[in-house]
Amino acid sequence: MRYSILLIALFGGGIVYILGYNAYTLLLYLLVAFLFLVGLIVIVRGRVRDACLVVASIMLCFVVVEVYELVRSGGSSKQQDKIVFAPNPIFGWIPGAPGAFHVKKVDGKTGSVIFDVTNTIDEHLQRKTVSSDSGATVAFFGDSFTFGEGIEDSDTLPQIFADLENRKLRVLNFGITGYGPQHFLRAMETDVFRDRLQGAQLFVLQTAPWHAERTSCLHPEMLRSPRYSVEDGRAVYAGPCADGLSRIVREAIANSAAYRTLVEPAFRTLKPADIELYIAIVARAVELARQKYDVPTLILYLPFAPAYLSQSGYTDAAIMQKLRDAGAVVLDGAIDPADHPGMVLYIPGDGHPTGAMNRLRAEMLKAWFDGHAADLPKSEAKAH
């Protein structure tokens, strides 16, 4: 019986690990650690017991802080239903299985529904886009904005672009929630999508300056993501952002309310080196797209609040020019809500673009594509 508390703590730790990461992960780990220390206090004596008492007291303080932050934030918003992602050695994570998935997000404070949609993952583990099976390929890369977080299949940017082109093109959506330019580069380096990208006319990367947090591994959700460094001015693959025990500990900490509120803001200020790495990653991906596929890359760049880049020494205009210098076609994807009164451009309580916003940006892409189609690589129409 003296060892039962220890066994319960170890069993509880295993359960928490199996459950994966959510807003309560660190709290659960802290409670398991506290219980484990209580178990040690029961069975040990002397100075070891005194040390366990001290550490347990400190651990209890951490538990109190975490509970306070969770209560104060009201649990924030949460996704009750979502797509399950599986580990992947190339990208870090991909959708776990094809199918139609019910995705629902609820405000943790009020209980109101933020979105309630169905997302379809096709047999290639990508967001379903209905388009031509035999037309020239336009492939979209990006994150949840490209994937279409919080919206139906019909409202994603790639789908609306395909519709505007009367579905004469073969449009593919390689966007995945949480991805960044590093995932586009990794796809170009590994040729993992080569069979699907044969006959491509254009690659489209939707990106924003805050992707520099992801390319620099600053964002806590990027620990499984590909990591790059700059050597001789070129982005070079350096493995995942974190691995092994380090990743497990950092993921647990990063999923805590206290960390997100008290610590994370201080570590997510962009420095010049972060922006330079971001630019180098995009530039290398653009270069490889030309070398391996003979395909130009169009960057749909989404400017952010000017103050966001204030510590980096860069502006949105300067970044866009750097990307043009690297050989990319760059479109400024900024949309002023004042120019579109009455339109809901971002999902309230979430921040992802709505179908209305995606339509405005798809119209920008269509205007460019139609005006430059004659200059793009020619490809023979064929069944894919």
Query: Are the C-beta atoms of 41 and 5 separated by less than 8 Å?
Result: no
Domain identity same for 151 and 226: yes
Distance separating alpha carbons of residues 207 and 212, to the nearest angstrom: 10
Domain identity same for 51 and 155: no
Mean pLDDT across the chain: 89
Domain identity same for 166 and 38: no
């880049």: which residue's tokens? 309
Query: Are the C-beta atoms of 177 and 115 separated by less than 8 Å?
Result: no
Choose between 211 and 50: higher pLDDT.
211
Q: What is the average pLDDT across 343-369? A: 97
Residue 240 lies in a domain: yes
Domain identity same for 320 and 228: yes
- State residue 294's pLDDT score: 95
Choose between 231 and 108: higher pLDDT.
231
Residue 140 lies in a domain: yes
Domain identity same for 64 and 131: no
- Residue 93 — left, alpha, or beta (φ > 0 → left; ψ -120 to 50 → alpha)? beta
Does the structure show a pLDDT above 50 at 5? yes
Domain identity same for 143 and 275: yes
Give 65: exposed, middle or buried? Use CB within 10 Å, 0-12, 13-18, 19+: middle
Closest CA to 208 of 334, 312, 340: 334
How does pLDDT run across 183-219, given as a tens digit for each residue?
Answer: 999 999 999 999 999 889 999 999 999 999 999 998 7
Residue 384 lies in a domain: no
Query: Are the C-beta atoms of 135 and 170 separated by less than 8 Å?
Result: yes
How does pLDDT run across 143-161, given as a tens digit for each residue?
Answer: 999 999 999 999 999 999 9
Among 18-27, 36-45, 153-162, 290-299, the range scoring the smallest mean pLDDT is: 18-27
Q: What is the DSSP string of 157-216?
A: HHHHHHHHTTT-SEEEE---TT--HHHHHHHHHHTTTHHHHTTEEEEEEEE-TTHHHHHT
Does the structure show a pLDDT above 60 at 75? no
Residue 51 lies in a domain: yes
Q: What is the DSSP string of 90-102?
A: TTEEEESS-EEEE
Does the structure show a pLDDT above 60 at 369? yes
Token couple for 63: 């538990």
Confidence of residue 373 (pLDDT cuts 50, 70, 90): confident
The CATH number for 362's domain is 3.40.50.1110
Domain identity same for 51 and 150: no
Distance separating alpha carbons of residues 206 and 96, to the nearest angstrom: 23
Element (H, E) at 239: strand 234-240
Q: What is the average pLDDT across 315-337? A: 97
Q: What pTM, to 2 d.p., does this model score?
A: 0.84
Domain identity same for 189 and 260: yes
Does the structure show a pLDDT above 80 at 58? yes
**Angle at which helices 25-43 and 244-254 pack, to 10 degrees?**
110
Q: What is the average pLDDT across 379-384? A: 51
Does the structure show a pLDDT above 50 at 381? no
Domain identity same for 30 and 145: no
Residue 103 lies in a domain: no
Show Cβ contacts of residue 48 under 8 Å, excluding neighbours closer than 6 positions. Answer: 40
Domain identity same for 60 and 133: no
- Domain assignment of residue 256, given as a range: 127-375
- State residue 4's pLDDT score: 85
Domain identity same for 343 and 217: yes
Distance separating alpha carbons of residues 27 and 16, to the nearest angstrom: 10
- State residue 376's pLDDT score: 86
- State residue 256's pLDDT score: 65
Element (H, E) at 105: strand 99-107
Residue 178 lies in a domain: yes
Confidence of residue 255 (pLDDT cuts 50, 70, 90): low
Count the domains in the chain.
Answer: 2
């210098």: which residue's tokens? 325
- State residue 266's pLDDT score: 62
Residue 100 lies in a domain: no
Query: Are the C-beta atoms of 186 and 217 separated by less than 8 Å?
Result: no
Q: Looking at 72, 87, 111, which one is the last position of a domain?
A: 72
- State residue 82's pLDDT score: 77
Determine what percent of the chain is predicted with pLDDT higher than 90.
62
Residue 339 lies in a domain: yes
Domain identity same for 29 and 132: no
How does pLDDT run across 124-150, given as a tens digit for each residue?
Answer: 999 999 999 989 999 999 999 999 999
Q: Looking at 72, 93, 114, which one is the last position of a domain?
A: 72
Torsion over CA of 70, 113, 333 and 339, rounded to 10 degrees? Answer: -120
Show Cβ contacts of residue 77 under 8 Å, excluding neighbours closer than 6 positions. Answer: 105, 106, 107, 108, 114, 349, 350
Amino acid letter, residue 142? G
Q: Looking at 25, 43, 72, which one is the last position of a domain?
A: 72
Closest CA to 179 of 256, 97, 88, 243: 88
- State residue 28's pLDDT score: 81
